Structure 1
Amino acid sequence: MAGHDGDGNAPEAQGTGLRAATPKEHRTVTRVTTILETAASAPDGIRLAALCAVLDAPKSSVHGLVQGLVATGYLVERDSGYVLGPAAGALLGAAVRPAPADLAGPAMERLLREFDETVMLGEPVGDSIVYVQVLESTQVIRYSAPLRTRRPLYPTSTGKVALAHRDTARRNAYLRARLPDERERARVREELAAVAAEGVAFNRGETLPDVSATAAGVFAGDGRLVACLAVAGPTPRIAERLDTVADAVRAAAAELSAKLSRTGGAPA
């Protein structure tokens, strides 16, 4: 019967002779996706020299990748720069079912009214979390979350939720790469087990000492984690009521999950 070794690694895939691999970054794939993400954030176009600087790669290498993306329609050359092409739009158009961001507005607005702290909807993207929707607190001193920017999975509250629902081998590989001390990894594994059991994660000043947050998972009808809903604010103001905020976030995330299930939302 298939299983895992003591460190959570998968054995050889049955009948293939190949070891079940833990996903990891590939330099070419990372460069291509970075080019597309950079172009997406520059609607007026991005020049080749700027792409080389972002990738910290030679012009010859980047030019070849860019020309390949132009040839396949994922980029279009415009005024000596590059913008997203029709092939990228076709991919986006294929996602016809409602995404979490399409349905999250009412729940996020209620959380903002109740606590007047910044509310965020994040989606797992590889080994990162990307905030796709943010409602900022109206208070002068507040947490401002960066939109469409990759954030680490650990120790962010949204990232902890994503890690808690990741398969064991990938979770352990992520922790080994970022936490060299085994005792620290063991502590984090216990924390993530509690996140999975309780349905809510906390970040009590771990990323920024002056900011604390809580998050809960949003799930598609088949049980897949597709997003994380979170509330964050200045630690001195939010710390004492973080448990109360967590209960509200968990309830709002459950409501959003139910909406996705009813509408058949969150594309595979």
Structure 2
Amino acid sequence: MGNNDAGIAGRTVDGPAAWTDEAVLDETGRRHHRAVDRVVRILDLVVAVPDGMTLTELARELGAPVSSVQKLADGLVATGYLAEAHRRFTLGPAVFSLTHRAASRPPVLSVRHADLERLRAETGASAILAVRVGAESVYMDWASTDEAFSFRISMQSRAHVTETAVGRVLLAHLGPEERRRIVAAHLPAEETVRMLDRLAGIRESGYELGFSGARLPEARAIAVPVVEGGVTVAAVSLTNHRSEVSDRALTAHRRLLRAEAERWAQR
């Protein structure tokens, strides 16, 4: 389990900076709260491990005292958002009740899991659907070509928007002020200029081609925006985690994805 899925300015997933008493202003202008960040991180962790995690494992991943994590875990069990058996914590029934009630209004209406499975079957690449949460891209669904790749995604489903192809597509379609603020808060000045130029290219071309950062260092991805009602609500990528993928294959993937995105926009 890695510690690379943070990336919000002034806040790391692990370590002292994440757990100061003061709320931290992130790159989007929203303030983080220590307890809320911990609760979200706990849920993100246990959902990725089918047989659950122990209190010690959770505390280690959060970089927080066991006593503090115990209080949060007890509260989550009491409210049904965690379940505990044999000293291991898993998702509780309240999570599934909440998702069931929210099923009628998902964040992305036009892209279905069957669409991702079909893209995977046609291309031999993993198809990934992501949305933006603050300054992070979050993988909502995927159809993976192999179990190891799927496991890596499930363990680290968040990344800073500058670090992945889907994230850069989402970032490129924000308003200029918010886009500049997020980039400048995360990158040095020279890299900020280069990133803003890259984002302009994404808006002009309608797609992104690139590597997907430290989390998947060998992966090359093509990503396009998902537009609903004239607004970019998500991004979809075809991710090739074999470095020998040809430029010809990537071009074919780009054409296929753009055609699919146009079809989704009409749903």
The residue aligned with 1:252 is 260
The DSSP-based 3-state class of the residue aligned with 2:138 is strand
Structure 1 vs Structure 2 CA RMSD: 3.1
Structure 1 residues 30 and 169, CA, compared in 2 at 3 Å: closer, same or farther? farther
Alignment length (residue pairs):
233
Write out per-residue CA displacement over residues 189-229 of structure 1, whole angstroms, 9 at most, x where no aligned residue: 1221232333211115866675322101223346241x321
| Structure 1 counterpart of 2:142, one-letter code | Q
Q: Structure 1-normalised TM-score?
A: 0.72
| Structure 2 counterpart of 1:128, one-letter code | S
The DSSP-based 3-state class of the residue aligned with 2:80 is coil
Q: State the identity %.
A: 30
The DSSP-based 3-state class of the residue aligned with 2:253 is helix
Gaps of 5+ in 2: 1-27
The residue aligned with 1:23 is 30
The DSSP-based 3-state class of the residue aligned with 1:83 is strand
The DSSP-based 3-state class of the residue aligned with 1:219 is strand
* Residue 43 (structure 2) pairs with residue 66 (structure 1): no
* Residue 144 (structure 2) pairs with residue 135 (structure 1): yes
Q: Give the 5 Å matches for 1:211-250.
A: 211-221=219-229, 223-225=231-233, 227-233=234-240, 234-250=242-258
The residue aligned with 2:194 is 187
Structure 1 residues 115 and 36, CA, compared in 2 at 3 Å: closer, same or farther? closer
Q: Is the 8 A contact 2:132 2:167 kept in 1?
A: yes
The residue aligned with 2:153 is 147
Write out per-residue CA displacement over residues 70-105 of structure 1, whole angstroms, 9 at most, x where no aligned residue: 333322333333232232222211223374599534
- How far apart are the structure 2 equivalents of 1:133 and 1:209? 18
Q: Structure 2-normalised TM-score?
A: 0.72
| Structure 2 counterpart of 1:144, one-letter code | F
**1:248 Cα offset (Å):** 1.4
Q: Which has the larger radius of gyration?
A: 1
Structure 1 residues 37 and 210, CA, compared in 2 at 3 Å: closer, same or farther? closer
Q: Is the 8 A contact 1:22 1:170 kept in 2?
A: no
Q: Is the 8 A contact 1:51 1:62 kept in 2?
A: yes
Gaps of 5+ in 1: 1-20, 138-142, 260-268
